[in-house]
Amino acid sequence: MSKVPITLKLKFSQLNQAKVKLFGEMTQENTRLANWLLTIPLPERRKLTTAKVETSLMSALANQTIRHTTSVVGKQVKQYKSLPPEINKQNWSLHKVGETYSLSFPTIKGIKRVPVEVASRHWQPILDRLLISDPLIDKGSAKLIEHRHQWYAYISVTMEVPQLQTINRIGCDRGQNNLAVVAPAKGFGKFFSGKEVKHRRRYFQKRRQSLQLAKKFRALKKWDKRERRWMESVNHKISKRIVRFAQYLNADVVVEDLAGCRDTMKQRNKNRADSGESRHSWAYYSLEQKLDYKLALKGLRIIKRPAPYTSKSCSTCGSLGERKGHHFNCPNGHYHNADLNAARNLSRWDGFCCSLDLKRDAAVMASSGLENGLLGTTLNLMKGILPSGEYL
């Protein structure tokens, strides 16, 4: 069993002006209390209880604010601009009457029960399991957050999902020309083109530059958020299709470990200035995060492997080849699409490569005693050295 935390975003429905004003007052008071707590030294702050603070919030809300300001995150904050009220799991409850769900929680004026809307059809089964106190799902805290003049309840839950026993793996090569290419060791793969993303990135960049010249900084901030939401949506769609492909093959997904790639990969200044080509606008980690939790919900895993040589090795014979754009040519006459070739190499990394660390210093590699040291061979450099000719 694996534990998967997720957050449900439930919109409050049928809110009258009184409740909207109430939620706003709760947020203001919670922010004021948090900022006052930050003025108190940490050792004394840890000893505080609701009996020692003056606030109109109910004790359940005030206690949670005290805990937040003494947490690892809270200790690093100097001042809160806005801190949404948070209710711990013991003090909020879910109800259902007919087809309508509602939440009850403490406020400034006692405990209120407010109807909520379920935007996603995938969340309704989770809410139904919470209602019957399913032991495989554990509810966490709830936050009241205002977004675009609408109020939402952000509910965190942790689900226990059975881990599937899989022997298959598919590789997922991420890039900018193709946002993702997934493929098993043999057979067909799926391509997710990045052409439209590059076009839209340049469009957002051009608009952003004009807003900067006009010094419309508020509009610029909204424009940046719009671009971020659009890219998040693209990654959600891609990750959903990759997970569906992994389910079809009953396979885990292997990805390259791209941590710090923006600092290690070379990039021309011309490409750096182009938002469509710049690696600093490449949302590869967002896609990885979405793949991680969506695979976990299906009982599958995401596996990270080192990035070196996945794009330079032939997935047919293992020789080092030449990559130019979308084309990969092997010295033994094999031709592959470059991204598909990398995805296939990732899918069989554990059975196709040697156990040596590909990131070791070149001097160490050269002193290994092999005729063609690691820099001159590929993922399967041990093939032909072993008497059986098998892969490690």
| H, E, C per residue of 35-59 | HHHHCCCHHHHCCCCHHHCCCCCCH
Compute CA distances 187 → 84, 86, 170, 347, whole Å. 50, 50, 11, 12
- pLDDT given for residue 8 in this prediction: 93
Higher pLDDT, 323 or 228: 228
**What element of type H or E holds 310?**
none
237: region left, alpha or beta (phi > 0 left; psi from -120 to 50 alpha): alpha
**pLDDT range class, residue 331, cuts 50, 70, 90:** confident
Higher pLDDT, 355 or 3: 3
DSSP track, 119-156: --TTTHHHHHHHHTT-TTEEEEEEEEEEETTEEEEEEE
Residue 364 has pLDDT above 60, yes or no: no
Contact yes or no for 170/315 (Cβ under 8 A): no
Compute CA distances 61 → 21, 40, 44, 88, whole Å. 17, 19, 19, 8
Q: What is the CA radius of gyration of the chain?
A: 26
| pLDDT tens per residue, range 128-171 | 999 998 899 999 999 999 998 899 999 999 999 988 888 899 99
Contact yes or no for 320/350 (Cβ under 8 A): no
Lookup result for tokens 């990805």 = 255
Compute CA distances 89 → 27, 35, 71, 235, whole Å. 19, 24, 17, 31
The lowest-confidence range among 60-64, 296-300, 313-317 is 313-317
Q: What is the distance, to the nearest Å, from the Cα of residue 182 to the centroid of all Cα atoms in its chain?
A: 18
- pLDDT given for residue 351 in this prediction: 65
Higher pLDDT, 238 or 349: 238
Three-state SS sequence of 266-292: CCCHHHHHCCCCCHHHCCHHHHHHHHH
Instruction: Extract long-range pairs of 287-291: CB within 8 Å, 24+ residues apart.
Output: 287/174, 287/179, 287/180, 287/235, 287/238, 287/239, 288/174, 288/255, 288/258, 290/235, 290/236, 290/239, 291/172, 291/239, 291/242, 291/243, 291/253, 291/255
- pLDDT given for residue 63 in this prediction: 93
- pLDDT given for residue 352 in this prediction: 62
* Average pLDDT rounded to a whole number, residues 90-102: 93
Distance between CA 316 and CA 319 in Å, rounded? Answer: 8
Residue 108 has pLDDT above 50, yes or no: yes
Residue 23 has pLDDT above 80, yes or no: yes
Distance between CA 392 and CA 375 in Å, rounded? Answer: 18
* Residues written for the chain: 392
Residue 361 has pLDDT above 60, yes or no: no
- pLDDT given for residue 353 in this prediction: 54
Nearest to 141 by CA among 60, 256, 229: 60
Nearest to 105 by CA among 88, 124, 129: 88
Buried b vs exposed e over 272-307: b needs ≥16 C-beta within 10 Å?
eeebbbbbebbbbebbbebbbebbbeebbbbbebeb
Contacts of 218 (CB under 8 A, 6+ apart): none
Nearest to 253 by CA among 264, 241, 237: 241
**pLDDT range class, residue 74, cuts 50, 70, 90:** confident
Higher pLDDT, 312 or 179: 179
